[in-house]
Each structure stands twice: as structure tokens, then as C-alpha cells.
Amino acid sequence: MSTKLSVVSFPRIGAQRELKKLVEGYFAGDVTKHDLCGGSRELRQNHWRIQQEKGIDFISSNDFSLYDNMLDMACLLNDIPSRYRDLSMDELDRYFAMAKGAQNAKGDVKALELKKWFNTNYHYIVPETEEGVEFKVNGDKPFAEFQEALALGINTKAVLIGPYTFLKLSRNKSRQSFSHLLDRLIPVYQEIIKRFSALGMQVLQIDEPALVMPMDTDDVEAFCNAYQKLLPAKGRTRVLLQTYFGDIRDILTRVMELDFDALGLDLVEGERNLDLIEKYGFPSSKQLFAGLVDGKNIWINNYTATMDKIHRLLKCVDRDKLVLSTSCSLLHVPYSIEYETKLGEAYLRCLSFAREKLSEMDDLRELLEDADFHRNERFLANQASISELLNHPGKRRQEVRAMVDGLTGTDFVRQPAYEERIKKQKQALRLPLLPTTTIGSFPQTTEIRKLRQQYRSSKINREEYAQQIRNSISQVIKRQEELGLDVLVHGEYERNDMVEYFGENLEGFLLTENGWVQSYGTRAVKPPVIFGDIKRSRPITLEWITYAQSLTEKPVKGMLTGPITILNWSFPREDLELSEIACQLALAIKEEVMDLERAGIKIIQIDEAALREKLPLRKEEWQSAYLDWAIKMFRLVHASVGEKTQIHTHMCYSEFSDIIGAIEEMDADVYTFEAARSDLSLLRALREHNFTREVGPGVYDIHSLRIPTYEEIKAQLEKISSQLDVGNLWVNPDCGLKTRGMQETLPSLANMVKAAETFRSS
């Protein structure tokens, strides 16, 4: 019997982002509900077939979602806050109202909170559990999808987010304790399992990634109790407990004792799982789904290293109990390299996206069955590609290595200290109390996207392109002046994406044409690939920012992406330490900062939207394994500017309260934060920490489809100023406006400016 293959989950957006187009079309009223459902079905079926053709034995269903799997799970469990329940909308529109907010004749509600999914750039919708919630099975999405696949002859393993992870990641707004809520969820999960079982499902996959987070004894007990009650409901369906994004050191031996039929462990990011198995053994009654193919990075699998891991495993696990799997969902990598026409063969040989990873699994199965695998053609080809990758001439730039080696302690420290320089900045900038500004980007119209497209495909020349970008800049400057904003931006029309743009303009990156990865809901990003040493060979933003500044008396903020965010939103090379890559990036962005300052730009914003993303999941590793170098590299970017140059930074969509100290150590002068969607819990953290810098907690949520009223913003300002010193406050939306339309943006900003003005004069 040959070794079996499993995929944790498959990307759902489609090869050409079909899902995005369908859902956005539905929002715009161009796609009917019928077509949305039909298009979705086609995507699912396509993805099942692809996996079937590649010989995957355990294919997932319910990994599809119209917006987000956590939101799906909340709906399935009937964990729907009453403000959405009260809307007179059908199921589908209510679902989207929870995801995106809604403002129309049927109701006016904000969206649920959006948060980063563990240490990835995927964002999930945070369910909210209210007092009086009635957990019960609601709707039939997972059952219907299972049957849909069954009709195609595929007995899929449905994927469910397990009750422990579901509650750990939800917001508990009830008066009941975690363990009480967990208890109440169990009967619902039991019923779900029974229904699957009745439908003939062979394997059910329950995802519990929260097990890779630190767990105390109460957590371990709560988990074990829950599953002791839950698992007897499984009948003939076998249950796979799937974990990913790290090792499960706090609970591994305990879950081995529970009645799961299979354990899915990440052996890429969670290499320690392997040591633990060697130490404690693995129960002979269970299958091990060994996550050996990296679901998070895009380099080809190194078969030598993987075969080595497999052979270590086989000393502890029976051969027929071993299943080869991906380390996590393939949602975090793009669809296929098949659509890359511009990267040379040599580069393509070392890249592996979702579809290619399926072939890698098939290769590994063959190698596992080949006693003489060292001489197997697939193995030899892989060895050759790996060595080609590591020895590629584009990897090393001597001058960059020399710059990094030449850095000393003072290169990381800005002088004079904040308290002294902020006074000088205030005198020089002469801004009013509560200065108003935006986070950088303005709505990106179809014309702008088309323009960049035409330029990229050489349909228009550089001068035509630049002329049109300048027109957009001059319009947006005018608009901002009309609105009465105090600190202006150039609108970021030249960028498709804040990271990809810098990737395109720095050396050392590979850019894909179609390497889309879902970031949240309908938003996908195209992370650049860090291939070699990074260098800036020419100014990047200078032309646009100085042009914008030439049009106005008001200060225009220079707008850059910081090194940590570029690193965290790219696919990094694996042959150099992350801290070293960050250092190269910091030196490159620093050159841009210095050019902007020299050109007379007084305020420079260095975005670190993704600062928290690669924070280790275990707190004891935060400082030494990450923050120590990450914060230092941010400081390197701005440490050499003059005292009057004001450095801003912006952060969003994550919890900041527990890293406020590190954030202050970044030593920026002004910090704008996403805050509107997370109930301003940040304010308390800032106050408790005695945060000394100027701050702009976002006063309205830009991802919501609604226009915030003037009263709402004013109330928000009152709330903020009751907690923080008004003299240190800025007024701004909570993130860039690129995903919005101008028709909502202008009235929203007008309301914001009006609120700030009234507040100032009161």
C-alpha cells in the first residue's frame, strides 16, 4: 500500500482571483446571488479536481469561504451578535454585513473586528460571543459542500475550526467563562460530527492551531475535557486533529492519549515536534499527518532534508501510519508558477506555489517507496535545483555586505532625544491642535490601475505615465486643501501595494505576475520574493513626493514602507538570517529617507503595518528572537535625520498593548494606529504605559462600507481625548484609503475635519 498524501487546505481565491471578482461584483450589484453561488461551486470543484489529479488522498472541503473561515464557523455555531441578527436581511447579506459592515435601508452596522491569523498575513474576522447566545447548528454550508464533492466521487475531509481555537480567537462579551462557553459548544460540535458521519464522511479534520500557542495547565485541561466529551460522537468517522504554525510542546503527550485517530503536526515551522516524537514516541494506534511541505514559503522543498526527517520519523511511526502532508493550509502561498511568464527558467526551477507543492508531495511519496532514492531521477533533479538556487550569482552583493558590516552602535540612535526635538518640530511645523491627516493612500480608481498596467506592459511611455500620475497627485492635493486637512499626502497612485512597490524598485527581489495570496476577504496581495542581497540603486518615491510638495504650502508627508513590513510581507530567502535581510532593507530605505529630507520634505512616515506579524507565538521568545533586532532596524532607517524632521509611523490590525514598550523604542515622533475597529482598547495601553509620543488612534474604520457621521467621529474624539493628552493627539482615519471609493472618502474626511475643528474651538 503506498503512502497517502494530505493537503491541510487549498487556496480558495482561484487561479485568476475569480472569487474576489465574484464577491466584489456581488457587492457592487453586478453579480446576482445565483451567479455568486454558481461561480463559487465551480471554484470548489476545480480545486478538488486538481488535487485529485495530483493523487492527493485526503482532500479538504469547507476550506472554501466567501469571506473567511472563522466567520463561517461563527455562523455555523449560530454565534451571531444580536445587532446583525436584528437586521432584516437574508443569510448571505447578513454574513457580508458581519464581514464588511452595512449602511443601507436594511440597517446600519459596523463590521466585526479583523485580526491577523497567527503569524501570517491572513486576517480573520473575530467572532463576538454575547451574553445569551444560543449555540446551535445553523445552516448547512459544510454538509452541502461535502455532498457536492461526494457527487464528484470525492469523499473529502471537511475542515472545521475546533472549539478551543474558535473560542480562544473570539471576543467573549458574555459574562461566562471560557471553560463554560467551551462546555456549551461541545453538543453543537457533537451534532455536526454526527451529521457528517451520517453522510458517510470518512475523515473529519478539526483544526486547532491555537495549540501551538503557549498553554497553561488550565488550557490543557479545558482542551482535554472538551475532546473527551466530543470524540465519542464520531461514530465511524475518523477524526484528524490538525495543528500548524509551530509545535505543540505544551500538550503533545496529552493529545496522544485522547481518542483522535490521527494527529497533524507541522514539521517545518514546528520542527521541535519531531524532537518530541523522538523523545516520547508516537502511539501505534494513530496516524501521523506529517507536515513536511512548507505551506508558508515558496521555495522548492529540499528533498535531502525532508527525506532525512522522514527517516527519523519512521524510527518512531509505522510506515503505514505515516501520511505526508503540507505544514499548514496552502492559502498562504500563490496558486501556481504556471502563470509566471517573465521569470527566467532558472528562477522558476527554485519556486513552488500551491499546485507545485502537490507535485512535490507526489515526488516524496515516490522517493519514500524507492529503497535507492538517492539515485532516483526526481531526487537528483531536486538536488541540482537546490544547488543552483544556493549558488546563484544574484545572491550576493559585496558592497551591501560591507555596508552591513561597517555599522556601529551610533548608527541606530537618533539625536537629540524625543523631548528636545519635538519642541523644535512643533515650532517649525506650526500645526494646529489636533492636526488632521490621512494614512497615505487615496482611493485607487480603475483608471489608475489601468494606467499602471499600461505602463508596466509598455503600452505607454514613462513621460505619459508620469504626467498622469502627476495629474492625480495634483487633484488629490487640491481635494485635501479643500477639505482643510493639515498634513497632506500624495495619494500613493504609483503603488499597487505598499510592499510590492518597494520590491519592484529595489534590487534583490523577484516579482511575480500572478502570485496572489489572500490577505482578507476579497483582498489579495502579491508578496515579492527576496532572492538576493538588497540594494537601492536609485531614488524611489522622491519624484512624486517632491512634486506633491511643490503644489502646496502645507506639509506633505513622505510615504515609505519600513524594513520589517517589507520583510514580513515578502517571501524571504532562507539562506540568510531574517535580521540580516532586515538590515539590508533598512539601509536601502534609509537612503530614501535621507533623499527626501534633503529635498525639503519635513515629515516622513515609515509604515510598519506588519511589525507584529512575525512576532514569535511564544512570549518568552519575543525579545531575543525578534523585537531586539526588528526595532533596531527601524531605528537605523531614521536615526540620521535632522532634529526638525518629523518621523511618523503607522501600524494596524493587531494587538499593540503588549508591545507598547518596543513600539516606543522605535523612537518615531508620531504614531498612527488602527483603533476604530477594536474598541479603542489601545488607548488604555498607551495611557498606562505613559506613552510619551504623539499619537493618532484612527477615528473611523476605513474597511467598513459606511460613512462615519460627524457626531460619531466627534464622540470618538471625546473618548480619545478623555484618555490621552490633547496636546499629543492627531486626527486621522485608521488606515490607508486605497480600498475605498472617492464618493465615500470625501464625505468621511469632511466629517472628520469638521469634528476636529469643532473640538478645537470647544
590-619 residues near Zn ion, rule: CB under 5 A? 609
Residue 412: CB atoms within 10 Å: 17
Question: What DSSP line would sit under 552-604, residue for residue?
Answer: -SS-BEEEEE-HHHHHHTSB--SSS-HHHHHHHHHHHHHHHHHHHHHTT--EE
Q: Select from Zn ion, ligand GLN, none the partner in contact with residue 440, using the beta carbon and a kind-dependent cut-off of 5 to 8 Å.
A: ligand GLN
Pick 158 or 737: Cβ nearer Zn ion: 737
Interface pick for ligand GLN out of 142, 209, 295, 440 (rule CB under 6 A): 440
- Segment interacting with ligand GLN, rule: CB under 6 A, options 243-251, 402-410, 433-441, 523-531: 433-441
Per-residue binding string, ligand GLN, 486-505, x by CB under 6 A, is ------x-----x-------
- Near ligand GLN by CB under 6 A: residue from 441, 468, 472, 480: 441
How far apart, in whole angstroms, are the C-alpha atoms of residue 597 and residue 646?
10
Contact between 563 and ligand GLN (CB under 6 A)? no
Q: Which of 602, 613, 702, 606 is nearest to 654 (CA)?
A: 613
The residue among 39 and 698 lying less far from Zn ion, judged by its C-beta, is 698
Cβ–Cβ < 8 Å for 111, 677: yes
Instruction: Please give the grid coordinates belonging to residue 491.
Output: 495619494
- 735 contacts ligand GLN (rule: CB under 6 A): yes
With a CB cutoff of 8 Å and minimum separation 6, the contacts of 506 are 534, 535, 536, 537, 540, 585, 588
Catalytic hit among 123, 638, 650, 703: 703
Name the residue nearer to ligand GLN (CB basis): 336 or 441: 441
User: If contact means CB under 5 to 8 A according to the sort of partner, which of Zn ion, ligand GLN, none does residue 607 touch?
Assistant: ligand GLN
Q: Are 101 and 708 in contact (CB under 8 A)?
A: no
Quote the least distance from Cβ 731 to Zn ion, whole Å. Answer: 16
**Considering only 415-423, 425-433, 551-559, 730-738, which stretch makes contact with Zn ion by CB under 5 A?**
730-738
Nearest Cα residue to 604 out of 615, 613, 595: 595
One character per residue 681-720, x = contact with ligand GLN (rule: CB under 6 A): ----------------------------------------
Q: Which is nearer to ligand GLN, 321 or 526 (CB)?
A: 526
Please, what is the minimum distance in Å from the beta carbon of residue 307 to Zn ion? Answer: 43
Residue 317 in grid coordinates = 511511526
Handedness of CA 221, 222, 227, 230 (dihedral sign): positive
294 interacts with, out of ligand GLN, Zn ion, none, CB within 5 to 8 A per kind: none
Nearer to ligand GLN, 727 or 741 (CB): 741
Piece of 428-436, 513-521, 544-552, 733-741 that binds ligand GLN (CB under 6 A): 733-741
Enumerate residues 649-678 that contact ligand GLN by CB under 6 A. 650, 652
Between 303-314 and 272-280, two packed helices, what is the crossing angle to 10 degrees?
20
How many residues bind ligand GLN (CB under 6 A)? The answer is 13
* 527 alpha-carbon distance from chain centroid: 11
Q: Is position 652 an interface residue for Zn ion (rule: CB under 5 A)?
A: yes
Judged by CB under 6 A, the residue of 80, 158, 559, 659 near ligand GLN is 559
Is 638 an annotated catalytic residue?
no
| Cα–Cα distance measured from residue 384 to residue 390, given in angstroms and rounded to the nearest whole number | 10
> Which residue of the chain is nearest ligand GLN when measured via CB?
736
- Name residue, grid cell 475546533: 162
Q: Fill in the per-residue mask, 592 to 611: x = in contact with ligand GLN (CB under 6 A), - = not in contact.
A: ---------------x-x--
* Residue 738 in the binding site for ligand GLN (CB under 6 A): yes
Residue 313 touching Zn ion (CB under 5 A):
no
CA 281 → CA 258, 276, 277, 323, distances in Å? 15, 8, 5, 17
Contact with ligand GLN (CB under 6 A): which of 268, 324, 358, 439?
439
Among 80, 137, 735, 755, interactor with Zn ion by CB under 5 A: 735
The CB density around residue 33, as the number of other CB atoms within 10 Å, is: 11
Provide DSSP, 119-163.
TSS-EEE--EEETT--------HHHHHHHHHHHTT--PEEEEE-H
| SS3 state at 276 | helix
Share in percent of the chain as helix, strand, coil (round to 5): 50, 15, 40
Regarding 334 and contact with ligand GLN (CB under 6 A), the answer is no
Distance of CA 421 to the CA centre of its chain: 35
Identify which of residues 289 and 671 has a Cβ nearer to ligand GLN in the complex.
671
Strand order in the sheet with 646-651: 557-561, 603-607, 646-651, 670-673, 694-697
Amino acid at 600: G
Residues near ligand GLN (CB under 6 A) are 439-441, 492, 498, 559, 607, 609, 650, 652, 735-736, 738
Residues near Zn ion (CB under 5 A) are 609, 652, 735
- Residues that are catalytic: 703
